[in-house]
Amino acid sequence: MAARLRSSFTGSTKSFINDSLLTQRSHVSPAVACPYFTNPGQSRNFASASKEPKVKVPVAMCGGSGNYASALYIAAAKTNALDKVESEVNYLILFQLLLKHQHFLIVLADNSRLRNIDTITKRFSDLTMAHRGEVKAVVTTVIPLPAEEEQTLYRKYLVKEKQLSLNRRLGFSCYPFDPLEIDPSIVGGLVVESGQKVFDMSIKTRARPMERFLRDPINLHA
């Protein structure tokens, strides 16, 4: 697992650091040390570098670690990859915290449970969500939704806000599994299931009262 982490982290995030540091070093021109030094190729490099978008670090940081953090931020911001890089850095921090608690891994190994580390971490995630009053939910729709509509659905119905009807009816803040479940039989709308609770907003369920009304005989003499 450590080797896989190192390979994934160095494959993208480390390149951001190196590229940013090299960019910063390229700004130091020989012409600064020697005003009489001229190089057409160097001038072209400066001309192209000046066209790069300028990124301002929101917080000034000092020291070696601050310089590297700032370089990583600048490189990620230039390529609009802040979220991706932040996710990789957080994963690295989580892995380091796990290594600090090596006795837990030793206990798993001694009891032949190391192969269950994925399930254990998922269960631990369920515990932390329950501690925050959150549970995972399965959301069913009639067709796959585009990414933009799916995000709108989450923001409108599934975010943690008291005024939203879904969370009020279920009594908790729900976070759906990904991807959504697809069931054409619900005709339209969506169904949210979590444990024993079901919030049915499908057209199929809402049409049942009308269907029963149309099927039942009408007594005109009543």
- Dihedral sign, CA of 96, 173, 160, 132? negative
The pLDDT of 9-33, averaged and rounded, is 48
pLDDT over 80 at 182, yes or no: yes
Torsion, CA 194, CA 198, CA 201, CA 202, rounded to 10: 100
pLDDT over 50 at 27, yes or no: no
Residue that wins the pLDDT comparison between 161 and 110: 110
Q: What is the pTM of this model?
A: 0.39
Min mean pLDDT across 122-126, 145-149, 181-185 is at 122-126
Strand, helix or coil for residue 197: strand
Min mean pLDDT across 65-69, 83-87, 109-113, 205-209 is at 65-69
